[in-house]
Every structure is written in C-alpha cells, then in structure tokens.
C-alpha cells in the first residue's frame, strides 16, 4: 500500500497555475524531500494534499482513502513563520494542540494528553521549556516545539514545511535524528527542504518540483544533475556536479 | 433594586460581555473590524425595524448580527481581490453600510426614537425606564438583554475554548485537524455582532470598540496565558464599568463616554505598571542593565591592567574616568555601584578587583 498517491493535481490562483498536473507515488517508510526553487509550489503541494487549498483538479489518496477519511493518520508541521509567536500560550499548550485532532470538537484535553505532550517534548529535548512562553524561544526551539506537536499526533504520514528553516547545526542534527527515528518505526515523512547539499545525506527519496513534477523517486535515481538543472534552470552553480547522484 | 444599582449592573454586564470576544479580536489583530461591526449593526437594526415595525422586537438582534457577518464577508471579499488591503477594505465597507443606515433613519424613521445621540453615545442613563417583567421580577430591559448575551458568550467560550484557541493560533493546523477555522471565524464574528448590538444600546456605536479592545489589550500586558488573559480582561472591563459609573456621577456626564474613558485610563495605567512588559518595569530593567554593563566594563578594565606596570596609573580612582572616557561623576557612581556589589575595593586611591569582580570579568570575556 502506498502511503501517498497524488494524481493529476493542479492548483491555480485565478488563471495562474501554481502546480500543474502533479503525480506522486510515495511508498511507506521513507524520508522524502520536496525540493525546488522559490515559487515552485512546494508549500502549495503540501497544503493542497492536506485540503487547506482547494485544487482545480486532481486526486489525493492517503493509504488508499481520501484525506478527510484518513486525517488521524496525518501529522503536519507548518512553516514556523505561519503563526504569531506572541500568542499568549506555553510550549506545552502548543504541543497539546497536536492532540486536538484526536479529541475532536468540544472535548477537553485530559491528563493523558498532557502526559503525551510532555513525552513528546522530552523526545525533542525541550521538556525543561514546557511552561515557557512561546515568544521566548529561539528559532530552533520553536521548530522543535512544532515537531513535538506533530509527534503527539502519532501519525503514520508526516508533512513538514521547512523543518530546518532558521535552525542551527545542532538542532538540524537533532531534528534529522528524530525524522530517521520515525522512519525506523515504519512512518513516512515528507519534508520541504531547501539545502540541496544535504539531500543525499538526510533523505532516501526526493521529489524535484517546479510547478510541474520534474522527478520523483529514490535519491540515487531522481537526484541527478540533469534533473536539478531542469528544476532550477541555470541557478545551481553552488551544487558541484560530482555531488549530484550518478557518480 | 435602586436605579443607580441597576444602571451600574447594566454597565458591568455590558463591559464584561464585550471583553470576552474582544480577547480573540485582539489576538486575531481584528480590532478595527469590531469598530466596523459596531457601526454596521445599525443598518441591521434599521432594516429589522422596517420588517418587524417594532423597535423592541427581539428579531432586531439577529438582524443586526447578520449585518455584522455581512460586513466581515464584504471586507474579506474586497481583500481577496488582492487589490485593497484589509484596513482600506474596512474603511470602505463600514462607512458605506453605516451611512445607508443613517440615510434610512433620517428619511423614513425620523419619528421613532433612533436619534443620532442615542446611536452615537448610547443612553445607559435612561435604560432604567425601559422595564421588562421576567419570572415575575420587574427589571430593566437592557439588563435582561445584556445578561443573556453575557451568558451566551461565557457558555460559547467554555464549549469552544479549545477550538477558538487553535484556530486563532494556527488556522492551518486547525483546518488540517478537521476543525473548520472558517466556521469558527464566522461564529466569533456573529458573537461580536450580537454583543455589539447589545452594547450599542448602552454605550453607543462609537464606544463599543473601546469596551471590546481596551480591556483585552490591558490584560495582555499582564500575562502570557490565554485563560488568564480572559480573566484579566473581564476584571479590567468590570473596573472600567465601575470607574466609568463613578466618573459619570461625579462629573454629571454621559455614562458611555465615561466608561470608554475609563477603559483608556486603565490601559494607560496597565501600560505603565505591568510587570515585565510595563514601561516602568522596562525602564528599571534598562537602568539596571546599564549599571551592570558599566560595572562589567570597569572590572574588565581592572583585570586587564592587574599586576602590570601601568596598574598604578590605569586603576587610580581619580583617573579612571579618563581611561574609560566616562564623565567623572558617572565614573564615581559606577565605582560606588561596584563597591556596593562587592566587585571592587578601594585601597589607597587604587581600585582592586575582589574575587567576585574577577569572576564577572573573566566570564564576560569568555563571550
């Protein structure tokens, strides 16, 4: 069973296509990077898979069913900049929001949800910040908090929008370890990624995107210099030829 | 119940009822939307009056609430064209709807008591004369209406607390988890509209925004938790009602204006005295940091010249200011500060580091 199947997905703002006829087949238990230049539609792809943007056409299946039916299987880490970190709440409270989906409407979080939130904070090394106001966190700590919030969702398939954005090297290592840990538990992680240098080291699958799907598959096949050139045009001088796959 | 007790009670209930949805308006950066709504509900009331031909009809409230929602919808419609920004869209929609209401009143309803004074400033003072009988008790109509609205706000807050919180903080996640942020958004706007209609009678359309925004903005200065922000907002609103009531009696003036003024005064006081974020706390912290930093500069200077041939010259109390380029008085103050904190000692006109001072200097140099 495929973790994610996207067929003929097209998203447009008015008449301007942002994603053009995207097909994706993602098997279970892999770490997949979505890479592409700015404006390639990476965030839009994730948002339309999660039903946050209404596509003009196409179909999305998560473990064979629609997103609405499989919501509980999906975890989501939005871009760190998408929320107001001055919001009056604590780190633990933000993590607890990951439990809200399972709780559904009206029901209040219980002691068990609290415990799960604490455990998740421990996994990302943030337990001592549990009661901290979220605006006092550094970028890396904010990212870990979001990651913990996704962990308490206890999903099978995770979507992460730039989980490494604005974090230091230590945090980046810590986050990738957590992602690899998820993979070892048979979970699937799909992350928007910006650093082409680390794609081969961190991920086992990659999707190259630039409005259209340029390539998608195991890093060893899809992450070729030819595909990168097609995705980025001439703008990848910083990536040495020999670093790309195929050597 | 005496007339003044009852008026105070109406003021209190109105203010607290406004503060609750106000918290979410402030957090969603929609303060000006509440100003728009509190004006456009007038059009709803006028249209409702034309349909039901009765200014006391309970149907005027849903009619007005609907107009509030229409306001939000129209503003979003304009914003979604990406041709105008939200503040401009509000500036277009709300005067348009409000002016239609004003024209309709002056043209067709000038005989009824929907006069401009009442619309703009409210008439809390006269609320006492409009009586209703409920469960055999004879109470002011406005108290019953505002009481029900307050109860409704508290009830909805308790039931939808989690949903309001997540959709305000992270609408994307809320939607992904299956909550409908759009539904919650419009539900909240509906409650803002209903509350505005009720408050409108008491304080008038111009001042509703003060009751909705100032208490939550004051409360936010005191806390980092949503639940506490709600409680503090209600307290600030209650104080505004009480203070406004006292002020109106003392100066023998309009109650709505006094309440709104009190909201502003409470905000300014909060801005000054709030711990951590208040202006006084910030100024004190800056001052302390300045002294601490100067002390650190001093001990580093002493450490650098400790046991050198120039120590006699560099570390002399009366010449220190020249080396650090400080004003002599300031240098003297810093030295005294450092002495008080046990980081330096004076010995025959020369400054020496204590162990504590050395530790501070060394740890400051590491960074």
Residue B298 domain boundaries: 280-366
**CB within 8 Å: B170 and A68:** no
pLDDT attached to residue B351: 84
For residue B232, is it within any domain?
no
Strand partners, B109: none
**CB within 8 Å: B178 and A71:** yes
**CB within 8 Å: A78 and B172:** yes
- Indicate the residue among B152, B186, B209 that finishes a domain: B209
Tokens, residue B44: 């709803």
For residue B249, is it within any domain?
no
**CB within 8 Å: A105 and B163:** yes
Q: Provide the CATH number for the domain around residue B98.
A: 1.10.3470.10
Q: CA of B48 to nearest chain A CA: how many angstroms apart?
A: 33
**CB within 8 Å: B176 and A68:** no
Residue B295 and residue B187 share a domain: no
pLDDT attached to residue B367: 65
Question: Residue B120: pLDDT band by 50, 70, 90 thresholds?
Answer: low
**CB within 8 Å: B228 and A76:** no
Chain B interface, best mutation among A81, A100, A157, by max B CB count within 10 A: A100
pLDDT attached to residue B110: 67
Q: What average pLDDT does this structure show over B8-29?
A: 94
Decide if pLDDT at A242 tops 50: no
Q: What average pLDDT does this structure show over B109-124?
A: 65
pTM given for the model: 0.87
Whole-number Å distance between alpha carbons of B154 and A146? 30
Q: Provide the CATH number for the domain around residue B306.
A: 1.10.10.10
pLDDT attached to residue A41: 92
- Considering only the beta carbons, identify the residue of B166, B178, B223 that sits closest to A88: B223
Measured between CB atoms, does B27 come within 8 Å of chain A? Answer: yes
- Residue of A246 and B306 predicted with greater confidence: B306
Burial (0-12, 13-18, 19+ Cβ within 10 Å), B25: buried
- Considering only the beta carbons, identify the residue of A47, A101, A108 that sits closest to B177: A101
- Indicate the residue among B188, B209, B230 that finishes a domain: B209
Residue B292 and residue B164 share a domain: no
**CB within 8 Å: B162 and A84:** no
Residue B154 and residue B66 share a domain: yes
Decide if pLDDT at A247 tops 50: no
Q: What average pLDDT does this structure show over B51-55?
A: 82
Decide if pLDDT at A51 tops 70: yes
Residue B149 and residue B21 share a domain: yes
Measured between CB atoms, does B176 come within 8 Å of chain A? Answer: yes
Mapped to the 3 state alphabet, what secondary structure does chain A carry? CEEEEEEEEEEEECCEEEEEEEEEEEECCCEEEEECCCCCCHHHHHHHHCCCCCCCEEEEEECCECHHHHHHHEEEECCHHHCCCCCCCEHHHHHHHHHHHHHCCCCCCCHHHHHHHHHHHHHCCCHHHCCCEHHHCCHHHHHHHHHHHHHCCCCCEEEEECCCCCCCHHHHHHHHHHHHHHHHCCCEEEEECCCHHHHHHHCCEEEEEECEEEEEEEHHHHCEHHHHHHHHCCCCCCCCHHHCECC
Buried b (16+ CB within 10 A) or exposed e, B110-129: eeeebeeeebebbbbeebbe
**A188-192 and A157-161 beta bridge pairing:** parallel
Tokens, residue B135: 């469960």
Chain B positions touching A100 (Cβ under 8 A) are 162, 166, 174, 177, 179
User: What percentage of chain B reaches a pLDDT higher than 90?
Assistant: 48
Residue B187 and residue B45 share a domain: yes
Residue B201 and residue B292 share a domain: no
Q: CA of B176 to nearest chain A CA: how many angstroms apart?
A: 6
Q: CA of A146 to nearest chain B CA: how many angstroms apart?
A: 11
For residue B96, is it within any domain?
yes
Q: What average pLDDT does this structure show over A16-33?
A: 92
Question: Residue A239: pLDDT band by 50, 70, 90 thresholds?
Answer: low
A-chain residue closest to B175, CA distance: A52
Q: What average pLDDT does this structure show over A197-206?
A: 92
Residue B40 and residue B189 share a domain: yes
Residue B303 and residue B169 share a domain: no
Residue B308 and residue B178 share a domain: no
For residue B317, is it within any domain?
yes
Comparing C-alpha atoms, which of B136, B135, B138, B113 is closest to residue B126?
Answer: B113
pLDDT attached to residue A245: 45
pLDDT attached to residue B117: 63
Decide if pLDDT at A241 tops 60: no
Measured between CB atoms, does B156 come within 8 Å of chain A? Answer: no
- Considering only the beta carbons, identify the residue of A82, A104, A133 that sits closest to B224: A133
For residue B237, is it within any domain?
no
Q: What average pLDDT does this structure show over B199-203?
A: 78
Residue B308 and residue B160 share a domain: no
Q: CA of B179 to nearest chain A CA: how many angstroms apart?
A: 7
**CB within 8 Å: B165 and A97:** yes
Decide if pLDDT at B20 tops 90: yes
Q: What average pLDDT does this structure show over A26-33?
A: 94
For residue B86, is it within any domain?
yes
pLDDT attached to residue A246: 43
Chain B positions touching A74 (Cβ under 8 A) are 176
What is the number of structural domains in chain B?
2
Chain A positions touching B225 (Cβ under 8 A) are 88-90
- Considering only the beta carbons, identify the residue of A52, A88, A104 that sits closest to B220: A88
Over residues B217-234, the pLDDT tens digits come to 999 999 999 999 999 999
Residue B204 and residue B295 share a domain: no
Chain A positions touching B229 (Cβ under 8 A) are 88
For residue B83, is it within any domain?
yes
For residue B248, is it within any domain?
no
- Indicate the residue among B209, B235, B258 that finishes a domain: B209
Over residues A129-157, the pLDDT tens digits come to 999 999 999 999 999 999 999 999 989 99
Chain A positions touching B163 (Cβ under 8 A) are 105
B-chain residue closest to A149, CA distance: B173
- Residue of A93 and B200 predicted with greater confidence: A93
If you write DSSP's letter for every residue of B216-266 in order, what string do you get? Answer: HHHHHTT-S-HHHHHHHHHHHHHHHHHHHHHHHHHHT--HHHHHHHHHHHH
Measured between CB atoms, does A133 come within 8 Å of chain B? Answer: yes
Tracing tokens 């903005």 back to the chain, one arrives at B217
Chain A interface, best mutation among B80, B163, B170, B176, by max A CB count within 10 A: B176
Measured between CB atoms, does B175 come within 8 Å of chain A? Answer: yes
Question: Residue B113: pLDDT band by 50, 70, 90 thresholds?
Answer: low
Q: What average pLDDT does this structure show over B99-122?
A: 74
- Considering only the beta carbons, identify the residue of A97, A104, A106 that sits closest to B170: A97
If you write DSSP's letter for every residue of B330-363 in order, what string do you get? Answer: HHHHHHHHHHHTTSEEEETTEEEE-HHHHHHHHH
Residue B186 and residue B87 share a domain: yes
Q: Using CA atoms in the order B38, B29, B237, B190, what is the torsion angle rounded to 10 degrees?
A: 40
Over residues B307-362, the pLDDT tens digits come to 777 777 777 877 778 888 888 888 888 888 888 888 888 887 888 888 888 888 88
Strands (DSSP E) found in chain B: 131-134, 137-140, 344-347, 350-353
Confirm if B97 and B39 have CB atoms less than 8 A apart: yes
């Amino acid at each position: 069973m495929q973790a994610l199947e996207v067929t003929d997905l097209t998203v447009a703002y008015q008449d301007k296509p942002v994603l053009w006829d995207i097909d994706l087949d993602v098997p279970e238990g892999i770490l997949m990077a979505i890479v592409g230049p700015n404006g390639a539609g990476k965030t839009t792809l994730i948002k339309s898979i999660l039903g946050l943007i209404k596509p003009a056409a196409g179909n999305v299946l998560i473990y064979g069913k629609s997103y609405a039916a499989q919501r509980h299987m999906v975890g989501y880490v939005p871009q760190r900049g998408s929320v107001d970190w001055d919001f009056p709440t604590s780190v633990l409270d933000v993590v607890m929001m990951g439990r809200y989906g399972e709780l559904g409407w009206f029901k209040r979080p219980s002691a068990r949800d609290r415990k799960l939130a604490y455990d998740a904070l421990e996994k990302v090394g943030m337990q001592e910040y549990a009661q901290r106001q979220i605006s006092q966190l550094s970028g890396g700590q904010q990212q870990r908090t979001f990651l913990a919030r996704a962990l308490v969702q206890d999903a099978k398939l995770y979507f992460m929008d730039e989980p490494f954005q604005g974090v230091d090297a230590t945090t980046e290592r810590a986050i990738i370890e957590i992602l690899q840990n998820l993979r070892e538990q048979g979970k699937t992680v799909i992350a928007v990624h910006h650093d082409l240098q680390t794609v081969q080291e961190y991920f086992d699958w990659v999707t190259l995107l630039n409005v259209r799907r340029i390539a998608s598959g195991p890093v060893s096949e899809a992450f070729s210099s030819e595909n990168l050139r097609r995705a980025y045009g001439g703008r990848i001088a910083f990536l040495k030829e020999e670093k790309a796959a195929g050597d | 119940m005496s007339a003044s007790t009852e008026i105070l009670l109406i003021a209190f209930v109105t203010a607290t009822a406004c503060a609750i949805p106000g918290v979410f308006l402030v957090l969603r950066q929609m303060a000006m939307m509440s100003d728009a709504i509190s004006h456009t509900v007038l059009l709803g009331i006028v249209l409702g009056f034309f349909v039901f031909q009765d200014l006391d009809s309970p149907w005027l409230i849903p009619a007005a609430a609907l107009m509030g929602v229409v306001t939000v919808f129209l503003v979003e419609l304009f914003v979604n064209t990406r041709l105008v920004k939200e503040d401009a869209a509000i500036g277009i929609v709300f005067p348009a709807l409000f002016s239609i209401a004003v024209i309709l009143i002056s043209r067709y309803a000038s005989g009824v008591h929907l006069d401009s004074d009442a619309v703009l400033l409210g008439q809390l003072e006269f609320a006492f004369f409009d009586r209703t009988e409920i469960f055999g008790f004879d109470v002011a109509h406005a108290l019953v209406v505002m009481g029900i609205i307050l109860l409704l706000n508290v009830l909805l807050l308790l039931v939808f607390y989690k949903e309001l919180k997540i959709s305000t903080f992270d609408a994307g996640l809320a939607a992904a988890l299956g909550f409908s942020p759009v539904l919650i958004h419009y539900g909240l706007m509906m409650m803002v509209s209903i509350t505005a209609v009720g408050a409108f009678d008491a304080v008038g359309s111009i001042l509703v925004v003060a009751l909705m925004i100032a208490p939550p903005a004051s409360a936010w200065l005191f806390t980092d938790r949503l639940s506490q922000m709600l409680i503090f907002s209600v307290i600030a609103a209650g104080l505004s009602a009480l203070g406004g009531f006292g002020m109106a009696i003392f100066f023998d003036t309009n109650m709505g204006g006094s309440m709104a003024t009190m909201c502003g005064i409470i905000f300014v006081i909060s801005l000054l005295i709030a711990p951590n974020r208040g202006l006084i706390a910030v100024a004190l912290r800056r001052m302390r940091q300045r002294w601490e930093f100067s002390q650190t500069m001093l001990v580093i200077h002493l450490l650098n010249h400790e046991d050198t041939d120039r120590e006699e010259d560099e570390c002399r109390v009366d010449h220190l200011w020249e080396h650090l380029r400080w004003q002599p008085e300031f240098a003297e103050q810093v030295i005294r500060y450092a002495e008080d904190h046990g980081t330096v000692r004076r010995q025959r006109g020369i400054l020496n580091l204590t162990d504590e001072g050395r530790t501070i200097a060394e740890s400051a140099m590491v960074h």
